[in-house]
């Protein structure tokens, strides 16, 4: 575990896909919780104006109509001085903090491109106090999706295995490649996470088989099934592996946890403490 204070080795991960309804928030939230379970001081940054991640992590945000003006919020990072000095909100889980979304995020799209540099600078300053930073992004290709890619070390994309999902994945892969050569060479794309997979859907099965055949280690080897256990996140507000009432929930929990472990391992965020469910 790194010492207290500044942490030059903090790692920033972005969950992004140019496609709505792919499970970005679910993946980002579970990833942040798993990093916390691994013993790392973790910050979840909610850049999606819908504020779902904020609601799940701390019961705040536009979706909950509870604003947090006294805390640093994600939209502040796009401004040179907004919110500087404000405390960072502790989320409901131990070891997890949150930069919540608010409606100002809808306006960042109108900011000049320099705001990306501002975001990067301010995010890195905040990140120094954390071991792991996980960023949830909006589904549209704009400032709030590009800025985190300029500022992150790693990115991964949850993809629903259908034609639209593939198009979204392709768009994000191209963007990552561009950002790497032009602005952020450190950015590494970890992989594509098959999400909301209905194994009884013949088309989805064909897409998954094709991904498995073509993507090699760009495909995260744990496919998350379509499950009500996961969509219940908005009110359970706990990782799915916490709710192990039925056998199928347990099964889903295990897969989600394995996928998050895979992402953390790929980002070299090894457990700092002994963790349940570790291989």
Partner 1 sequence: MSAPAAGSTPAKGGVFGQMPSLVAGLRQSRGPAIAMLEVDKVEPDPNQPRKVFDEEALQSLAESIKEIGLLQPITVRSGTTLGTYIVVAGEPRWRAHRIAGLNHIPAIVRSSDDCGDATLIENLQREDLTLSEQIALVARLIEERGSATAAARAVRKPAKWITERSRLAGAPEWVLSFVATGFTTDATALYDLVRFAEAEPERARRIVDEFEEGDSLRSLVREAIKASKPSPPAPQTISASRGGETSSEWSSEARTSESDRGEGSAGFYDGGSELGAREEPRFGGGESGASSDATSHEPAFRRDTTSARHESDRNEEANGSESEEPSIVPVAAKSIEADADASCLLIRTKNAVFRVALSKRLKVEMQKALAQL
Could you list the residues that contact partner 1 (CB under 8 A)?
A: 6, 8-10, 12, 120-121, 124, 127-128, 153, 155, 162-163, 166-167, 169-170, 173-174, 176-177, 180-190, 192, 202-203, 205-207, 209-211, 213-215, 218, 268
Question: Which residue, 7 or 238, is less far from partner 1 as judged by CB?
Answer: 7
Tokens matching residue 138 = 């909006």
Alpha carbons 22 and 207: distance in angstroms, whole number: 15
Report which of 272, 245, 275, 273 is spatially closest to residue 258, judged by C-alpha positions.
275
Tokens matching residue 272 = 């700092």
Rounded to a whole number of angstroms, the minimum distance from the CB of residue 185 to partner 1 is 4
Rounded to a whole number of angstroms, the minimum distance from the CB of residue 182 to partner 1 is 8
Question: Which residue, 132 or 230, is less far from partner 1 as judged by CB?
Answer: 132
Question: Which residue, 106 or 266, is less far from partner 1 as judged by CB?
Answer: 266
Which helix (H) or strand (E) element contains residue 115? Answer: helix 114-127
Q: Which residue has the tokens 């942040």?
A: 32
Rounded to a whole number of angstroms, the minimum distance from the CB of residue 67 to partner 1 is 29
Alpha carbons 108 and 113: distance in angstroms, whole number: 10
Rounded to a whole number of angstroms, the minimum distance from the CB of residue 228 to partner 1 is 26
Question: Which residue, 19 or 93, is less far from partner 1 as judged by CB?
Answer: 19
Report which of 167, 160, 83 is spatially closest to residue 126, judged by C-alpha positions.
83
Give the residues across from 45 on adjacent strands.
Answer: 99, 135
Give the 3-state secondary structure of residue 136: strand
Question: Which residue, 218 or 275, is less far from partner 1 as judged by CB?
Answer: 218
Burial class of residue 120 in the structure, from the number of CB atoms within 10 Å of its CB (0-12 exposed, 13-18 middle, 19+ buried): buried
Question: Which residue, 58 or 134, is less far from partner 1 as judged by CB?
Answer: 134
Rounded to a whole number of angstroms, the minimum distance from the CB of residue 278 to partner 1 is 19
Report which of 148, 149, 139, 131 is spatially closest to residue 74, judged by C-alpha positions.
148
Rounded to a whole number of angstroms, the minimum distance from the CB of residue 14 to partner 1 is 12
């Amino acid at each position: 575990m790194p010492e207290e204070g500044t942490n030059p080795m903090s790692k920033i991960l972005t969950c992004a896909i140019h496609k709505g309804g792919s499970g970005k928030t679910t993946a980002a939230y579970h990833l942040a919780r798993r990093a916390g379970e691994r013993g790392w001081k973790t910050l979840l940054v909610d850049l999606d104006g819908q504020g779902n991640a904020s609601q799940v992590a701390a019961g705040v945000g536009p979706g909950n109509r509870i604003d947090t003006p006294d805390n640093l919020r994600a939209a502040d990072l796009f401004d040179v001085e907004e919110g500087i000095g404000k405390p960072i909100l502790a989320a409901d889980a131990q070891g997890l903090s949150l930069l919540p979304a608010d409606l100002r995020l809808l306006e960042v799209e109108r900011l000049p491109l320099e705001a990306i540099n501002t975001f990067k600078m301010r995010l890195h300053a905040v990140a120094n106090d954390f071991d792991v930073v996980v960023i949830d992004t909006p589904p549209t290709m704009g400032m709030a999706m590009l800025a985190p890619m300029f500022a992150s070390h790693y990115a991964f994309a949850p993809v629903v295995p259908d034609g639209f999902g593939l198009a979204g994945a392709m768009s994000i892969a191209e963007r990552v490649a561009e950002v790497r050569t032009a602005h952020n060479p450190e950015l590494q794309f970890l992989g594509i996470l098959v999400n909301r997979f209905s194994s009884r859907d013949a088309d989805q099965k064909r897409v998954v088989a094709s991904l498995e055949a073509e993507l090699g280690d760009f495909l995260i080897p744990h496919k998350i099934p379509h499950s009500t256990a996961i969509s219940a996140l908005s009110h359970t507000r706990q990782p799915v592996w916490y709710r192990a009432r039925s056998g199928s929930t347990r099964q889903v929990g295990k897969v989600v946890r394995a996928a998050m472990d895979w992402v953390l391992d790929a980002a070299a965020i090894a457990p700092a403490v002994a963790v349940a469910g570790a291989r």
